[in-house]
Amino acid sequence: MVPFITFSTLLLLVPNALGAAILAKRDNGCNGFFNGIKDNSNSFTLWAKFPDNSTSQLVMSTFNDNTDANQVYLTPSERGGPMVGNTFVLKNSGLVGSGSDSQIWNSNSIEQGGPFPFSLSSDGSNAGIAEDYCEVPNTSPHGTEINGPLLAVQGNTAEWSVCNRTDNAQYQGIIFNPADYSQDYGYNYGSCQNVTVFLRSEALGNAP
């Protein structure tokens, strides 16, 4: 026997379904991890671990001398030009960077083969932030090789790379899943080194 559903019951079900869909979309950065962490209000720094086991702090940089930029990118601290900020928090899978003069930098969506962008918040809010990111407890295959939780994007922790820019090889950027077409974003695919991006802070007990 087919259950009978009244119109009023259907109206009650639809908002609940929509609400679940909205929540799923807003938490898409951690959807692929049963133990993923989408909120971390304790300021942390980001680091890259290279194949030779060296590490480099990651910062938000402009790649030029423009200190009034409205968009910046995640780069190794010594290879990105002027730095605008180097501490972050996670808000509902959105990565928020802190800059000088209390500036707020909101993570943008990152594209395959492209760099890691942030946009300056004009009003200090997190409106329009991309909720693609997740803090993931450090487990296999990294284990004790990396002293800290990993940063994931779109459900992935293994596709980060550091690549040289094509216009100036002294500059490097963090690239997600680099490919030949990364040159369209201004990066030399042949120079890319796979890295693991991880978090460090006093609260995590692994501050440098």
Locate the domains of the chain by residue range: 29-200
Half-sphere exposure of 197 (CA within 13 A, CB side): 26
CB atoms within 10 A of CB 33: 17
Residues in the chain: 208
Task: Indicate the helix (H) or strand (E) that contains 184.
Answer: none
pLDDT of 33 reads 87
- CA distances to 77, 183, 187 from 190, rounded to whole Å, are 21, 10, 9
Amino acid at 200: R
Q: CATH code for 29-200? A: 2.80.10
| HSE toward the beta carbon, residue 10, CA cutoff 13 A | 5
Q: What is the pLDDT of residue 140?
A: 56
What share of the chain in percent tops pLDDT 70? 82
E strand intervals along the chain: 40-49, 55-61, 71-76, 83-91, 94-99, 104-107, 117-120, 133-136, 150-153, 160-164, 172-176, 193-194, 196-200
Structure tokens at 166: 């094509």
CA pair distance 50, 69, nearest whole angstrom:
29
Q: How far apart are the C-alpha atoms of 147 and 134, rounded to whole Å?
A: 17
- What is the amino acid identity at position 169? A
Phi, psi of 10 (to 5 degrees): -60, -40
Which segments of the chain have a pLDDT < 70? 1-28, 65-68, 140-144
Q: Which two tokens stand for residue 65?
A: 């001398």
Amino acid identity at 91: K
